[in-house]
Structure 1
Amino acid sequence: MIYSFRNSGFRDPETGVYNQTYFMEVFNREWHRHIRDHQSLALLYLCPHIHETVKQPHLLEFFMKQVQEAILRTTDLVARLNNNSFALGLFNIDEQGTQIVLHRIEEKIELFNLEYGKKYTSHVDYELAGYTCTPARNLRIELIFEDVESLTHELEMEKNKHIELRQMQ
């Protein structure tokens, strides 16, 4: 990625997606708008596993470009939370719509791994977990982040499953 001073305040320099600070500001604003408009949203965590022995420059950037292509809507956000995880905020979307986005992300990652596997002998494993909910005044925004993080850890322990979506009540 070519570094741009114009985007330096809200973009992750390694991947080009939004940074955590910008994501949290926008997600908080959308949370309150969804309370007012009685709309549902989804929060997803994507945790790709790229082994540190893989010396492929820009691999994470290429991987995340595939994920961003799967989202399609410009109103949705992808942000890097830390070295191991990314957050996806899908706004004004229900559980069925979120399942469709999850399916598209899974297909893009499979294609990425297929192409990457032709050139190199490894692939990128991942967990993708999320919750959909309709924000309400009595529902703390922190709860959805805690629940998604917990679900991601559950998936990491289950080696045969890498995607799960739940509805927050």
Structure 2
Amino acid sequence: MIYSFNNSGFRDPETGVYNQAYFMEVFHREWFRHLRDQQTLVLLYVHPQLCENSAEPSVRESYTQSIQQGLLRNTDMLARLNSNTFAVGLFNTDDAGTKVVVERIREQLNSFSNSYMQQHGIGVDSKIVACICQPQKSLKPEMLFMTVDDLLLHPEKHKKAEQHQDCLIEKIH
């Protein structure tokens, strides 16, 4: 029998994307590689506005497939953090590259929402937040996660909130 990595311990069983533990392990490793190589990386959260009671597992699986279609590089990493938040790690990218990826993801999610609306009569809104960072010795990876959490939960605190209600991109120095 051939072992399948699709159902192994580093995948979320409901969506098939990486789980939080594996994502954190890889992201931490990439943080120190980017620190050494003086490269930037991005942590991006995608949060669908799904009702817990009406969201069957196949919806989340289709939703994550839509996100995955917006990621074209093999090094881009998608994981499920909790029931309704997905994290994307973009490694060795800059502001322009981040904006391109966010736009591709947004297009895929708009297509998903339109298809879902035709089938169920209601669309799926999403919020995308991202933080671009050049790792430094004085900066801990946890700070990046806290910043992205804050962007997701309190967009009104950030200067670009009035310009982009569904997408915020910040920089950490």
Distance in 2 of aligned mates of 1:102 and 1:142:
22
Deviations, residues 73-98 of structure 1 (Å, cap 9, x unaligned): 11111111111211110000001100
Equivalent positions of 1:106-121 (< 5 A) are: 106-121=106-121
Secondary structure of 1:18's aligned partner: coil
Q: Which runs of 5+ in 2 are unaligned?
A: none
Cα deviation 1:91-148 (Å, max 9, x = unaligned): 0000110000000011001111111111111111121111001111111111000000
Q: Displacement of 1:52 after TM fit?
A: 2.9
Which structure 1 residue ranges, 4+ long, deviate > 3 Å from structure 2? 4-7, 155-160
Work out which of the residue numbers 162, 165, 171 in structure 2 matches 1:161: 165
TM-score, reference length from structure 1? 0.91
> Relative to 1, partners in 2 of residues 1:54 and 1:150: Cα closer, same or farther, differing over 3 Å?
same
CA distance in 1, matches of 2:156, 2:60: 19
**TM-score between the two structures when normalised by the length of structure 2:** 0.89
> Is the contact made by 1:155 and 1:163 (CA closer than 8 Å) also made in structure 2?
no
* 8 Å CA contact 2:14, 2:57 repeated in 1: no
Distance 2:152 2:38 in 1: 27
Residue 137 of structure 2 is matched in structure 1 by 137
Q: RMSD of the alignment, in Å? A: 2.0
User: Residue 129 of structure 1 aligns to which amino acid in structure 2?
Assistant: V
In structure 1, stretches of 5+ residues that fail to align are none
Task: Give me the identity figure in percent.
Answer: 44
- Deviation of 1:164 after TM superposition, in Å, equals 0.7
